[in-house]
Chains A and B, each alone.
Chain A
Amino acid sequence: MSLGRMWVLLLFVALAVYPFLPLAEANRGEQFTILFIYAILALGLNVVMGYAGLLHLGIAAFFGIGAYTVGILTVPFLPFQQSFLVAALAAVVVSAAVGIAVTAPILRLRGDYFALVTLGLGLITLYAIRNLDAITEGTKGMNPIEAGPLPGIPDTVDMSAWRLRPDWSMRWYKYPYLYFLSLGTLAVVMLLLRNLEASRLGRAWVALREDELASACMGLNPARLKLAAVALGAGLAGLAGAFYAMALRTTGNPQAYDFTLSIIMVCCVILGGLGNRSGVLLGTFILMGFDRIITNILDNELQALQQRLNLGFGGQAYTKVSGWKLMIFGTVLILMMRFRPEGLLPEARHQRELHPEVAEAQGEAAAKIEAGETIRDK
């Protein structure tokens, strides 16, 4: 196993032991949990974009549908009162079903039209969530979400024996182990996707992406393959949404599921390496980690520095790192696209698709060798 693959394994091990380390902080753990959840979402998007090659600009809608399904099924002021397991499964099924239902009619649209319609569907979902107050509580968000983990079984996991950091279990009310649960889910998703990539479905998606007509002539049903990718991607996004609602104990403001999130997810996938699981993981950790963790730390440091030195230029957007966030994102995206469009950890196939000149050179070399051989044969 090369180092290139080892790092993912090492990362997972490191993250799994992190809560037991003396340097661990519970609020950091909370932030990591959100990263794991976004990574699941990005992997879902990667199925649609990286595997099936459909530019999807509305993945956040399925994230929202997942979160709100959990909200509706678990909040104490509605009669459903399901456990988290049931609610999360429902979130996956509902998201996948909505994904199929809204994508089936628009499959025959060409690339850019498809992208725009997914964007539109994402916004319609967001508006519906925002406007249907009686069902979704509108902009207030549904809370509290405090369901038990399994149907009918009280939460008996006692974490006091786990030797975690002392305040770790204070954070998540009923779910001190949510950190491990989301990390484990992420690992399982990675494994399942790896197997799927090597199966007929994975190959069929690659074939479809490369040449839809030729793959149809090989008996593959393009519509069904695309729907399968969308269903899987939406299902994973719904799962991520379910975890998100659990981790925040609320669905939060519907704004959390808007177009910006969809676009940032697209950026995570592309930054990491379209089609490559490990790359997507890395891309999400870098981009969302920067967004959620590093800017906060830097902002606090900067503010502390200002106060210490009494500089008195605080308060402006450009005196905070978070104020520069879009600028940094934008610059990184532009530079990446210019110099490394295949992402940080490119998937071999996508790299070949993005760098035709390399393959051409190889092809020419091969042709020369071939020509040389035939001459020698004669």
Chain B
Amino acid sequence: MFELLAIHPAASEFGQFLILGLVLGSLYALIAIGYTMVYGIIELINFAHGDLFMLGSFLALGIASGLGVLTAEAGVAWIVLTIGLMLVATPLFCATLNVTIDRFIYRPLRKSPKLTVIVSAIGVSFIFMNIGLFWRGATPVKFPDLIADTNLIDGTGLRFTWKDAMVVGITVPTMIGLTVLVKFTTLGKAMRATAQNPHAAQLMGIHVNRVIAATFAIGGALAGIASVVYGLYIKSVDYQMGFQNGLYAFTAAVLGGVGNIPGAVLGGLVIGVVGELGKAYLGAKWSEALIFGILIIILLFRPTGLLGARTREKV
């Protein structure tokens, strides 16, 4: 295994893996934000989030098949229309589903211990997975390859394709928009207040359940957007992909300091880059182990994540 260390990719290859890592990382970041927001507000590790993402990608796939837009030859107008429709319908679908789940499954458990809610989330995850299985079967399904792999930075020795540009072009504005929402709108303020102290927030006239529902909606919508981007970028989806990607995203959230949105973004990028560099220097089969290794090492030195706040118990 470690003989692989002998492979020393050239500097340009290092740059290439860095680019790949950042692109993939921004995708993880988008999913991670959904985890981190929900955790921040009700301290729930939402195990179903990754599977919500999986269902989103299945819906996106359904839209593409429904419109018959399955290859890049379909014409730019059709492709733009299809992707546009995916980017509207999938987030809506995921947000609605997430809010519904919260309303009927998590809300009745608001006063229960954490473990109870986490186990419910695991249950929801199982159900989503089963729905995915019925929807598209047990084997991986090809996702339409709609975006060209043309290199945009020819001549530099690096590759940055239209696909990469699409990922960055969708994820970065989304994250900026979210930051603005949380920082400057009334809803964002209500969210932050609820996250700090739900009881006090309620006393201040904040409709806590509505704020929580909004959080689930935003988190779900982000997972929906991420699922479209993922499908277009990776070009293959299956009913178990929610687990793996959800796990990475959750790891990203914890790495950054769970509950902290910039932390989730940072965590996502770190995981993306570490995973890709791990593939380059240790071989693909060790890159997953490396991601969790890094997570553990970072938590050993910063027990509440990279940007997490430290807390002290009141005696």
Interface, chain A (partner B; CB < 8 A)? 55, 105-106, 108-113, 115-117, 119-121, 123-124, 127-128, 130-132, 213, 259, 263, 266-267, 270, 274, 317-318, 323-327, 329-334, 336-338, 341, 353-354
Q: Would you call B116 an interface residue if the criterion is a C-beta within 8 Å of the partner chain's C-beta atoms?
A: yes
Residue-wise, chain B 282-297 has the 8 Å CB interface mask toward A (1 for contact) of 0001101100110110
Known: A106-B296, A330-B126, A354-B112. A116 touches B251 (CB 8 A): yes
Nearest 8 A/B pairs, CB to CB: A330-B126, A333-B123, A120-B292, A330-B127, A327-B130, A326-B130, A334-B123, A330-B123
Q: Would you call B109 an interface residue if the criterion is a C-beta within 8 Å of the partner chain's C-beta atoms?
A: yes
Number of interface residues of B (CB under 8 A): 50
Contact B122–A263 (Cβ < 8 Å): yes
25 A-B residue pairs with Cβ-Cβ distance under 8 Å, sorted by A, are A105-B300, A112-B39, A112-B43, A113-B299, A113-B303, A113-B305, A116-B45, A116-B254, A116-B295, A120-B295, A127-B289, A131-B289, A259-B247, A270-B115, A274-B115, A317-B134, A323-B130, A326-B127, A326-B133, A329-B123, A330-B122, A332-B123, A334-B124, A337-B112, A338-B120
User: B177 CB to closest chain A CB, in angstroms?
Assistant: 28
CA distance A353 to B116 in the complex (A): 12
Q: Which B residues lie within 8 Å of A326 (CB)?
A: 126-127, 129-130, 133
Known: A123-B288, A123-B289. A333 touches B119 (CB 8 A): yes
**Residue in B114, B137, B285 whose CB lies within 8 Å of A317:** B137
**Residue in B122, B130, B258 whose CB lies within 8 Å of A112:** B258
Q: Would you call B315 an interface residue if the criterion is a C-beta within 8 Å of the partner chain's C-beta atoms?
A: yes
Known: A127-B286, A326-B133. A267 touches B292 (CB 8 A): no
**Which residue of chain A lies nearest to B48 when distances are taken between CB atoms in the complex?**
A330
List residues 253-299 of chain B with CB under 8 A from any CB of chain A: 254, 258, 285-286, 288-289, 292-293, 295-296, 299
CA distance A266 to B123 in the complex (A): 12
Contact A115–B289 (Cβ < 8 Å): no
Q: Would you call B113 an interface residue if the criterion is a C-beta within 8 Å of the partner chain's C-beta atoms?
A: yes
Contact A109–B112 (Cβ < 8 Å): no
Contact A324–B130 (Cβ < 8 Å): yes
User: A272 CB to closest chain B CB, in angstroms?
Assistant: 13
Interface centre among A120, A270, A274, A323 (most CB of B within 10 A): A120
Q: Would you call B250 an interface residue if the criterion is a C-beta within 8 Å of the partner chain's C-beta atoms?
A: yes
Q: Would you call B74 an interface residue if the criterion is a C-beta within 8 Å of the partner chain's C-beta atoms?
A: no
Q: Would you call B223 an interface residue if the criterion is a C-beta within 8 Å of the partner chain's C-beta atoms?
A: no
**Which residue of chain A lies nearest to B289 when distances are taken between CB atoms in the complex?**
A127
Interface centre among A55, A116, A325 (most CB of B within 10 A): A116
Contacts between chains A and B (CB distance < 8 A), count: 130
Q: Would you call B313 an interface residue if the criterion is a C-beta within 8 Å of the partner chain's C-beta atoms?
A: yes
Q: Which B residues lie within 8 Å of A127 (CB)?
A: 285-286, 288-289
Contact B114–A337 (Cβ < 8 Å): no
Q: Would you call B304 an interface residue if the criterion is a C-beta within 8 Å of the partner chain's C-beta atoms?
A: yes
Q: Would you call B125 an interface residue if the criterion is a C-beta within 8 Å of the partner chain's C-beta atoms?
A: yes
**Residue in B133, B296, B303 whose CB lies within 8 Å of A120:** B296
Q: Which A residues lie within 8 Å of B305 (CB)?
A: 113
Further contacts, 18 of them, CB under 8 A, given A317-B137, A334-B124, A337-B116? A55-B115, A108-B303, A113-B304, A113-B305, A116-B251, A120-B296, A127-B285, A130-B285, A131-B1, A131-B289, A270-B115, A270-B119, A317-B138, A329-B123, A329-B126, A330-B124, A337-B119, A337-B120
**Residue in A117, A317, A353 whose CB lies within 8 Å of B113:** A353
User: B3 CB to closest chain A CB, in angstroms?
Assistant: 12
Contact A213–B315 (Cβ < 8 Å): yes
Contact B303–A109 (Cβ < 8 Å): yes
**Which residue of chain B lies nearest to A357 when distances are taken between CB atoms in the complex?**
B111
**Residue in A105, A124, A266 whose CB lies within 8 Å of B292:** A124
Contact B292–A121 (Cβ < 8 Å): yes
Q: Would you call B108 an interface residue if the criterion is a C-beta within 8 Å of the partner chain's C-beta atoms?
A: yes
CA distance A113 to B303 in the complex (A): 8
CA distance A108 to B296 in the complex (A): 12
Q: Which B residues lie within 8 Å of A115 (CB)?
A: 45
Q: Would you call B105 an interface residue if the criterion is a C-beta within 8 Å of the partner chain's C-beta atoms?
A: yes
Q: Which B residues lie within 8 Å of A119 (CB)?
A: 247
User: B300 CB to closest chain A CB, in angstroms?
Assistant: 6
Contact B112–A121 (Cβ < 8 Å): no
CA distance A327 to B41 in the complex (A): 28
